[in-house]
Structure 1
């Protein structure tokens, strides 16, 4: 009886809007990486700016749930991120020519430690959060989205709990994570994707919040733990596409 009730509560707690946000973040990421298939498609950089902030918002939404705070689920979350950080690095480097950074999962893993240190006022969590920030500071150039990318999941917490305009503050962190100096320089050079990319970075947290608040009735396929495998697999699939069209 207890197990049945627990399962029923789990099913009731499934948030269709959150699953939709994750699927759309995955789609945005794939669109972004299509730029490396072989055709000139620089404009795909613009929708690609939605992927990382929406994954960060999904992380903040998951960690703001009370069951996660008490059942140790955050450590399983960290374990899966670290495992697939390692699994994904080779496919990532096979597909992206001479990448300057690691794949995105180490950034999310450090961001997870930071947000948990903020949520849990215990010494171990705070020390891990400080360690994550120090690593992000020292190795910012090796992390995708850098130091501000590690801060972005934490910046998403007020987006969930406060009025909508707090999403604009998270948008500034998102823009900083996306190398605003490079985007500004590209704007001055007349790059057609630069200004739309800047706008997308600024409004991405608000768009994600809008989805979470107004898409409650949708029921996309639940994105469970198997979805971690989609990250390395999509690199291999796009690599195969590139080999076919080359």
Structure 2
């Protein structure tokens, strides 16, 4: 990849984007396997790929349909909000000491922020501003906090810039992952997790660029159910192990 190149994202459905979504889902499941009662702390490291790759998928979808009908983007937001509500109970059943909401509200607010930047319409900019205010006020209640809401926008900005600008969403991702706590811990898993946060955006962008010939199953609307469902399946696994 040369310094003058940008990361193209096609307007038609491509296998690379579906592959990115499947890998993000896999990394999320690996991360949550740490809570089933086994000594699997090392899975924290690949788990740091999940959130930034979901944010990258949002940015890629917005980039692909930026000149298309707005109804798609509103449906996108609607599904995120619907499954935010559906997933909260399974999430809290599995993560018993959870001190934030599940990840979908963060992604929904991030979608509004990125969409407002892209559309440049007063109404959309207003919604983006409201989303930013909500993220600032309720940062402690959102998974990945205020910077997590900014990450889809940071990812979106890289699409029209040289690949080395991926350091910007990398730093935003680090900020969203309690970097001070991880740095202070000083252990190998925590430091490796920080490094993974930093390189996750670039790794995802490289995948989108070079995996065009991939042909995984298309991840369509039915895939939203996998988020609450995986909590229930892992809860069952924990009960079996116990």
TM-score, reference length from structure 1? 0.92
Partner of 1:65: 64
Whole-angstrom distance in 1 between the partners of 2:17 and 2:199 = 18
Q: 2:211 aligns with which of 193, 209, 215?
A: 215
What does residue range 1-246 of structure 1 map to in structure 2 within 5 Å? 13-66=12-65, 69-187=68-186, 191-246=187-242
Structure 1 residue runs of 4+, over 4 Å off?
Answer: none
The CA RMSD measured in Å over matched residues stands at: 1.1
Whole-angstrom distance in 1 between the partners of 2:24 and 2:56 = 10
8 A contact 1:159–1:205 mirrored in 2: no
From the superposition, tell whether residues 52 and 68 of structure 1 become closer, same or farther in structure 2 (CA, over 3 Å): farther
8 A contact 2:167–2:198 mirrored in 1: yes
Partner of 1:9: none
Whole-angstrom distance in 2 between the partners of 1:169 and 1:80 = 28
From the superposition, tell whether residues 68 and 143 of structure 1 become closer, same or farther in structure 2 (CA, over 3 Å): farther
C-alpha displacement of 1:151: 0.1
8 A contact 1:115–1:129 mirrored in 2: yes
C-alpha displacement of 1:70: 2.1
Moved more, 137-146 or 68-77: 68-77
8 A contact 2:31–2:46 mirrored in 1: yes
Consecutive unaligned residues of structure 1, counting only runs of 5 or more, are: 1-11
**Number of residue pairs aligned between Structure 1 and Structure 2:** 232
8 A contact 1:63–1:69 mirrored in 2: no
Q: Which structure would you say has the larger RCO, counting Cα contacts within 8 Å and 6 or more residues apart?
A: 2
Whole-angstrom distance in 1 between the partners of 2:53 and 2:84 = 18
C-alpha displacement of 1:121: 1.5
C-alpha displacement of 1:32: 0.2
Whole-angstrom distance in 2 between the partners of 1:66 and 1:46 = 32
8 A contact 1:68–1:74 mirrored in 2: no
* Greater gyration radius: 1
Whole-angstrom distance in 1 between the partners of 2:37 and 2:115 = 40
TM-score, reference length from structure 2? 0.94
From the superposition, tell whether residues 26 and 194 of structure 1 become closer, same or farther in structure 2 (CA, over 3 Å): same
